[in-house]
Structures are given as structure tokens and as C-alpha cells.
Amino acid sequence: MTNEGLNWYPETLHGSFQQRFQITEIIYQSKTEYQDLVIFETPFFGRVLALDNVIQTTERDEAAYHEMITHVPILAHGSVKDVLIIGGGDGGALRDVLKHSAIKKVTMVEIDRNVVELCQKFLPSISDGAFGDPRSELIIADGLSFVKETDQRFDLIIVDSTDPIGPSLPLFSDEFYSDCRKVLRPDGIFICQSGVSFVQKDEAQKTHKRLKDIYEDAALYLTVVPTYAFGFMTLGWGARSTTARSTDINTVCSRFNAANIDTHYYTPEIHIACFSLPAYMHY
Ligand code: SAM
């Protein structure tokens, strides 16, 4: 699409409205076994990854998402050692989990090898070498079958999936959420992305109900990722105990300071505040 002779990338996630990005260069484009993949350069957001016409991550604002799906559960829990990431092919969640020196192992189960390889090559700042960390293990498989078959147990499961269209669809199901609960340790935490609630209310509501049906402690929490457009980005929280989510600000602060990690978005104050929802999200 062009105007004034420029090229634009329109995101087509929603029916009656779109966002679009000026393209300064198409870095790579292909149809993988699972999805349409494009990585392109933009004047403001840096490099952008889109899958099946949906913006996945941009160099400029990815921290607001990856820091909130990792540091919130890890600093709330206080002694996470073994982590499972489902999806997350760009490596951002892997990078931020590994910033915590107490983490022993991160198993990442990504269905599409091309996403990992092409993001490492053309979007290296997102994973920032995380795939080479000896604590990380990459498994190319469907997350749905992995959680059914694994005999490993985890303190934290992060479902960093695409939206429920295409290969991610089975990851938005009672079956998958229950299977994840079975491989969580007694004080384990389950985190999932659940869309922009103002324009994907159905997704957020269904996630919240599913979490309440399956986990002892269920909640939604919020971040703001400008390129996940049209409102708060909603994250789902399911835990087998209520202890972690009620960790007080002083404990979160001391754990954050002890972790000695740099962040662009996460702060202990935002950690405490992010579970406060606007009235329209009180489902
Ligand atoms: N941060 C992005 C977001 O919030 O939407 C998503 C990050 S990542 C690019 C999403 C990944 O989920 C993709 O690499 C995709 O291949 C992967 N994925 C989709 N369905 C999957 C499945 N069933 N099992 C494992 N990975 C899956």
C-alpha cells in the first residue's frame, strides 16, 4: 500500500480498523510450514516481526511485554529454578528469564524453527544471545503435545504464543491449561498472553474464566505495548497457590534489587499496580 510514494505494512488483526507502519526495508519474507513471516525495518519502531499479518514484536517496544511476562512471576515467586516457555520464537522471553542468575534451566518449546532462526539472524537484539546460554534448551515441537508428554516439572510456565489463529489455537483451551497445571510444581505459576482486552474482550474473558476453573489463584494483569494497539495488553496469571501474587512491595523491591537487572518498563511499583484492572475488565 503506498501514499506519497511510501510503502506501508497494514496489520489486519481486526475487522473494522487497522494500524499500519511505514516500511523502510523488507528484511525477510517467507511462508514457513506454519505461518506467513515478515521482518521489516521502520523509521520509528526499528525492526518488526509479523506473523500471519499480526505484529508480534518490535525492537522499540518489546520490553514492555517481555519484561512483564517474565519478571512479574519470577520476582513474585522468589525461587524460580525451572522455566518452560511455549512459543516465544523471537527469544525475548528467554532473554529476560535468563537475566535472573538463580534460574537453573529454561526449556523453550517453539513449533516453528524458522521463527527462531530468522529472528536470531535479522532481529538479534531481541534474543541478545539467549539461545546460546547453557541454561537454555530449545525444542522444536507443538507446545500442546509437549506438556502432555513431558516428565519434567516447572516452577513457571510462560505461554508466549501468537493470537488464537493458526498453530496457537489449541493453546487457548481447557485441555492445554489443565495439562500445564499438571507439570507445574505446587507453588508454580502459569502465565499466558491474552490479547488487547479493549478490542479482544472475548479472548480476555475466556482466558480469565479458564484460569479460574483450573487454578487456585487466577488473575489478569496489564501492560502497555504500543504496537499491540488499541489498549492495555492483557496477561493471564494462574497459580496453584495465592502466595506469590500477594507478595508485598518491599519483598518485590528487595528481590528486584538483588537480581541486579536493567529494565526499560518493569519496576516494582508497576509489578504491584499491574494487577489493578479498569472497571470494564471486571468480568
Ligand atoms: N510476543 C508475541 C505476542 O505477544 O503475540 C508472540 C511471540 S512469538 C513470535 C509467538 C510464537 O508462538 C511464534 O514463534 C509461533 O511459531 C509460536 N507458536 C504458535 N503456536 C505454537 C504451538 N502450538 N506450540 C509452540 N509454539 C507455537
Question: What are the domain boundaries of the chain?
Answer: 2-57, 62-281
54 CA closest ligand 1 atom index: 5
Report the chain's mean pLDDT, rounded to a whole number.
96
Checking if the pLDDT of 83 tops 50, the result is yes
Checking if the pLDDT of 236 tops 70, the result is yes
**Residue 103: band (very low, low, confident or very high) from pLDDT cuts 50, 70, 90:** very high
Q: Give the residue, by CA position, lying nearest to ligand 1 atom 15.
A: 87
pLDDT at 4: 63
The residue written with cell numbers 516500511 in the block is 23
Checking if the pLDDT of 1 tops 50, the result is no
Chain-centre distance for alpha carbon 5: 35
Q: Averaged over 193-201, what is the pLDDT? A: 93
Q: Averaged over 110-122, what is the pLDDT? A: 98
Determine the residue of 69, 168, 194, 232 to mutate for testing ligand 1's pocket, defined as the one with the most ligand atoms within 8 A of the Cβ atom: 168
pLDDT at 12: 83
Ligand 1 centroid distance, CA of 34 (Å) = 10
Q: CA 183 to CA 188: how far, in whole Å? A: 9
Does the annotation mark 160 as catalytic?
A: yes
Q: Give the residue, by CA position, lying nearest to ligand 1 atom 14.
A: 89
Q: Reading across the β-sheet that carries 25-31, which strands appear in turn?
A: 25-31, 36-42, 46-51, 54-58
Q: What percent of the chain clears pLDDT 70, i.e. is strictly above it?
A: 99
Checking if the pLDDT of 106 tops 60, the result is yes
Checking if the pLDDT of 133 tops 80, the result is yes
Q: Averaged over 74-103, what is the pLDDT? A: 98
Distances from the Cα of 93 to the Cαs of 2, 67, 104, 151, 268, in angstroms? 34, 7, 15, 23, 18
- For 155-190, write each residue's pLDDT tens digit: 999 999 999 888 999 999 999 999 999 999 999 999
Q: CA 110 to CA 141: how far, in whole Å? A: 6
Architecture of domain 62-281: 3-Layer(aba) Sandwich (3.40)
Q: Which of 126, 135, 31 is nearest to 88 (CA)?
A: 126
Checking if the pLDDT of 5 tops 90, the result is no
Does the Cβ of 187 fall within 6 Å of ligand 1? no
Which cell goes with 176? 492445554
89 CA closest ligand 1 atom index: 14
pLDDT at 3: 55
Q: Averaged over 121-128, what is the pLDDT? A: 97
Class of domain 2-57: mainly beta
Q: Averaged over 97-118, what is the pLDDT? A: 98
Q: CA 238 to CA 224: how far, in whole Å? A: 20
Q: CA 204 to CA 182: how far, in whole Å? A: 23
Q: Give the residue, by CA position, lying nearest to ligand 1 atom 8.
A: 88
Checking if the pLDDT of 61 tops 70, the result is yes
Does the Cβ of 136 fall within 6 Å of ligand 1? no
Please pick, among 52, 160, 163, 179, the residue that the annotation labels catalytic: 160
> How many Cβ atoms from other residues are within 10 Å of residue 2's Cβ?
8
pTM for this prediction: 0.97
Q: What is the amino acid identity at position 56? A: Q
